[in-house]
Amino acid sequence: MPAGFSRAEIERIAALAHLELGDDELDLFARQLGDILDYANQLQQIDTTGVPPTASVLIGDEGERADLAVASLDRDAALANAPDGAADAGFFRVPRVIG
């Protein structure tokens, strides 16, 4: 991994992203991206021997719920609460917002 970015590399990346950068921004981003790569290099050097790979930081299945089918609100009851519901068509009427 390269230790830093040259000004020309930052200009090419900016062109690919359709960004117009000033001279001071080119220098700033070159330094910042170089710092990010340096940090990634430091992380690569950490000994992870014996650490099992993980797909999540959660232990167990606390973040998931059972996928159960439950009854939902009846369509007629939902449309009855609408100021301008079209019960015969099964949808809500709303004011036009796009001209």
Residue 37 in domain:
yes
pLDDT at 92 over 90: no
Q: Is 97 among the domain residues? A: no
Q: Report if pTM > 0.85.
A: no
Residue 64 lies in a domain: no
The rounded distance, in Å, linking the Cα atoms of 19 and 63 is: 39
Number of folded domains that form the chain: 1
The 10s digit of each residue's pLDDT in 21-75 is 999 999 899 999 989 989 999 999 999 999 888 877 776 666 677 788 988 888 7
CATH number at residue 25: 1.10.20.60
Pairwise CA distance, residues 14 & 83, whole Å: 50
Reported confidence tier of residue 7, pLDDT bands at 50, 70, 90 = confident
Write the CB contacts of 94 (distance below 8 Å, at least 6 apart in sequence): 84
85 assigned to some structural domain: no
